[in-house]
Structure 1
């Protein structure tokens, strides 16, 4: 598909209905996000979704793309985010696990909230002011989970996994590196430079 410059998310999702209610909710949620992100207020309508290739028009009919299905439902069984907290440094013992489905942007929010509930939050006192700080930066957690969804291989039917261990956070996304890139070879001996 990549060689033919075909994007999976722009393909028509055959049989998936375009409902007025789902389309309006998606437009409103995009507007809310823009406002929350401090972006200029911009009214998002059906025409914008067509310009963004989230919806298609064909012979006077409005058609859903795979992106539309991902942004409005849990239509695809692989479109889910599995989150777990493990005791220790391996996957032997679960302390908590959740599976989030629905539009991918709500999955991202729920997964970030899950991680923040399950990592340590410390506090320092500076004079009379108490400052709380997570052990991992929330912005980095959000970026990891967003990237896992944005850069996943949608032809792979695995799902996004988020694992919280005692000493690390792992986010796993189906697929490989973009455009034929490969992982660098690891050196067996450390390399030092002066």
Structure 2
């Protein structure tokens, strides 16, 4: 059976020392095999016995001396021809070739640089971005940190950290591992409690925008401050740009007395979970991007720099899951602050809250190229275009739903006119929309019949 080049397999007709970078790439990624004596199509062409003998003697030493790793090089006979297999295991530490670092992307070998290289080296050395020291030390606590934010944290964290309200700021930070052994404040410390974190990390802020479409921006605001301040600021900016109704049939008891229940376009607790997720899990190495909240008429898109941490996948977000933390110190503090209920529960909570409000499930999207990006899409109503397609509506029916959203109702005759179809086809389409519980038929039969949207 012919082999195919992929993430873990590479074919070479013969050996050249420049292929050491491919060896390094396999070691830096998930391991793999280099087959010597194959053409690019995976067909056996073989090697001379003398060449096999020389490579078996030279390659292990050459790879060990150049790359610092030991691997298996063995001969194989295929179709009566001699081949060489170089089997490379994944390395727990970074492997360089001539001072450069390479990884496998698909079936290609790519050199790392910039943010991707920094991220790779952090991961391979077992460090996280947030635990590294910032340009501030323990003697600057009063100058650098926001006292009010620390006091608020002490108040809300007392449930999970008993007696925290009786402790000093210095002791609390040390217990949270926010001060290094040599007395420097970590990056996490500055982001969580700093007075002006953007002085140290210029892109560590968020943007909230109200969009009419992808080109027309109605309003935009930059939300700065520490992560707790950004959480509050982002949610306030969102609330200013979405609608709220009051359910007079349900009254809720609060400290201020009895109040009507608020029903927002989107469940606020679900939005809150998404914002927390972005603040905690964004890749702060990326200084060219920030957290973005894009509010449209029918949806909200909340995105942050950084793809999912392997091995977590989009599919796993829709079930109970656990995963590695990109910023473990930040995540731990948010957990102690009761902003994270349990690891891996946030995305499930978003889904459940949207369902409870008769809204479509939020959509989770990941862009894997480079440093990557993760986004959550919230849809305003169950009759958005994406949801309608999932329900099997054709383009004519989607057009009819949009028409009713704008006009309030549609008749069979109007549907025929806007879709340029026969009465028979229109009747069949409209009946299908009723069966799928998207339209409700009202009025008498015949010309007096109208179709309106079914209310959730």
1:52-91 residue pairs with structure 2 within 5 A? Answer: 52-58=176-182, 62-71=183-192, 72=194, 73=196, 74=198, 75-87=200-212, 90-91=213-214
CA contact (8 A) 2:250 2:261 kept: no
What are the superposed Cα offsets for residues 100-119 of structure 1, whole Å, 9 maximum, x if unpaired? 11111101110011111211
Seen in structure 2, the aligned counterparts of structure 1 residues 163 and 3 have a Cα distance that, compared at 3 Å, is same
* Other-structure match for 2:291: 160
Greater helix percent: which structure? 2
* Moved >4 Å (runs of 4+): 37-41, 180-184
CA contact (8 A) 1:82 1:159 kept: yes
CA radius of gyration, larger in: 2
Tell me, what secondary structure is at the counterpart of 1:98?
Answer: strand
CA contact (8 A) 1:123 1:133 kept: yes
Task: Give the drift of 1:33.
Answer: 3.3
CA-based RMSD = 2.9
Task: Give the drift of 1:120.
Answer: 0.8
1:88-167 residue pairs with structure 2 within 5 A? Answer: 90-126=213-249, 130-157=260-287, 158-167=289-298
Task: Give the drift of 1:127.
Answer: 7.8
* Other-structure match for 2:136: 16
- Is 2:167 aligned against 1:48? no
Task: Give the drift of 1:159.
Answer: 0.6
Unaligned stretches of 5+ in structure 1?
185-189
CA contact (8 A) 1:122 1:133 kept: yes
Task: Give the drift of 1:168.
Answer: 0.6
2: CA distance between counterparts of 1:96 and 1:162? 12
1: CA distance between counterparts of 2:203 and 2:176? 23
Task: Give the drift of 1:180.
Answer: 4.7
2: CA distance between counterparts of 1:97 and 1:38? 37
Count the aligned residue pairs: 181
1: CA distance between counterparts of 2:150 and 2:250? 45
2: CA distance between counterparts of 1:180 and 1:94? 37
* Other-structure match for 1:169: 300
| Highest RCO, 1 vs 2 (Cα 8 Å, sep ≥ 6) | 1
What are the superposed Cα offsets for residues 125-161 of structure 1, whole Å, 9 maximum, x if unpaired? 2188743211111111111011011111121111100
Unaligned stretches of 5+ in structure 2?
1-121, 252-258, 316-389, 393-456
* Other-structure match for 1:34: 157
